[in-house]
Amino acid sequence: MNSVFSGLPTTVFETMSRLAREHDAVNLGQGFPDDPGPEDVRRKAAEAVLTGWNQYPPMMGLPELRQAIAAHYRRFQGLDLDPDRETMVTSGATEAIAGALMALIEPGDEVVLFQPLYDAYLPLVLRAGGVPRFVQLRPPHWRFTAADLAAAFSDRTRVVLFNNPLNPAGVVYGREDLALLAEFCVRHDAIAVCDEVWEHVVFDGLKHIPMIALPGMRERTVKIGSAGKIFSLTGWKVGLVAAAPPLMAVLSKAHQFLTFTTPPNLQAAVAFGLMKDDAYFSAMSAGFQRSRDRLVTGLRDLGLGVLSSSGTYFVNVDIGALGEGDDVAFCERLVREVGVAAIPVSAFYAKDAVRTVARFCFAKTDQTIDRALERLAKLEK
């Protein structure tokens, strides 16, 4: 058996969701919204399965969806993408990331990763033969410096895998951070694989800046988005990929032998959804921002140290001063004794883990948030 996978535990999200069910806990662990998602988009998917085409759609995605991807990113991010040569639909962002790593890395190539990192990244890099080089990000700001990048990049760097906005930190990296990273990508002739699935889930008037728009990055960026995150439909697994034609040519080869296609009814519904009015997208992020504020205010009222969150579904609590042990011990006690599930942020580190932070998901109804806060009040005693 392959040692990368045979040695892996079940994902922390599955484990915490299982514990939450066992202990009848309020689940603020695994990140998924309580909201059922826009009804018109779901209706399109239902109609398309009944009246539409259910055989293999084109390998690169339905033409209407590829056009919608280009139009959507033009409207929201000012990008100029050729739908035929520069867009592709995958079965979720994770497929797009796996495919990009398989397509771009030769065994022995170095891959720059930022910790905390999404749990799928490292196994996929290793399985593709990549050699990880980590940039360590620390609370409360989770920012990187030129010295951090200089220590991680080398003349063997092939790929940088970068998540912005960053799960679990809730950071939205702005133009200055991106320009610094772009400078290193250009200098080392590296390709940026950018997991931008939270691009629409940003708060406080911030605007997501896609890495592909930075000077020097147009030809060396793989931009990855997710309909699941854009429409609060995390089970749909429809990934949106954009890259310049020479990159796309090889990305498509990986995709054709990974999943080949993605259910056509979901693609049709996502094409419809991407063309919705600006009002849908601003209401979606405003709704999550309200939920963030509700949870943050409640946690602060309980005397907990809350770190700032400008995007994603998550907010972090600094548990260092609570005297509850490390984050894993804290989250175990929380789910078993207090009845609230959270995610220990050390699970997002491959080494030198930060063990003083727990992640809470606020993409929940007011009622769920309030129920969690009532239970968390027990922590103080």
Rounded to whole angstroms, what are the CA distances from 101 to 240, 243, 253? 16, 14, 12
Q: Which of the residues 251 through 310 are near ligand GLN (CB under 6 A)?
A: none
The single-letter code of the amino acid at 227 is A
Other residues' Cβ atoms within 10 Å of the Cβ of residue 176: 9
Task: Enumerate the β-bridge partners of residue 87.
Answer: 242
State which of residues 5, 11, 256, 337 lies at the interface with ligand GLN (CB under 6 A). Answer: 11
Between CA 167 and CA 215 the distance in angstroms is: 25
Which residues, in sequence order, are CB contacts of 6 under 8 Å at separation 6+? none
CB of 312 to ligand GLN, least distance (A): 8
Question: Which C-beta is closer to ligand GLN: that of 30 or that of 368?
Answer: 30
Q: Is 349 in the site for ligand GLN (CB under 6 A)?
A: no
Nearest to 93 by CA among 13, 161, 175, 186: 161
Q: Is 13 in the site for ligand GLN (CB under 6 A)?
A: yes
Question: Which C-beta is closer to ligand GLN: that of 30 or that of 356?
Answer: 30
Q: Is 76 in the site for ligand GLN (CB under 6 A)?
A: no
Q: Is 167 in the site for ligand GLN (CB under 6 A)?
A: yes
Count of residues that bind ligand GLN according to CB under 6 A: 5
CB of 346 to ligand GLN, least distance (A): 14
Q: Which of the residues 97 through 116 are near ligand GLN (CB under 6 A)?
A: none
DSSP 58-109: PTT--HHHHHHHHHHHHHHH-----HHHHEEEESSHHHHHHHHHHHHPPTT-
Question: Which C-beta is closer to ligand GLN: that of 13 or that of 52?
Answer: 13
DSSP 18-73: HHHHHTT-EE-SS---SS---HHHHHHHHHHHHHS--SPPPTT--HHHHHHHHHHH
Between CA 300 and CA 198 the distance in angstroms is: 25
CB of 163 to ligand GLN, least distance (A): 10
Tokens of 343: 């995610």
CB of 167 to ligand GLN, least distance (A): 5
Question: Which C-beta is closer to ligand GLN: that of 87 or that of 163?
Answer: 163
Tokens of 26: 């309020």
CB of 95 to ligand GLN, least distance (A): 13
Question: Which C-beta is closer to ligand GLN: that of 169 or that of 254?
Answer: 169
Straight-line distance from the first to the last Cα atom of the chain, in angstroms, rounded to the nearest whole number? 48
Site string for ligand GLN, 28-57 (x = CB under 6 A): --xx--------------------------
Question: Which C-beta is closer to ligand GLN: that of 165 or that of 264?
Answer: 165
Question: Which C-beta is closer to ligand GLN: that of 57 or that of 165?
Answer: 165
Strands 157-163 and 191-195: parallel
| Look-up of token digits 């932070």 | 357
CB of 94 to ligand GLN, least distance (A): 8
Question: Which C-beta is closer to ligand GLN: that of 38 or that of 116?
Answer: 116
Binding site for ligand GLN (CB under 6 A): 11, 13, 30-31, 167
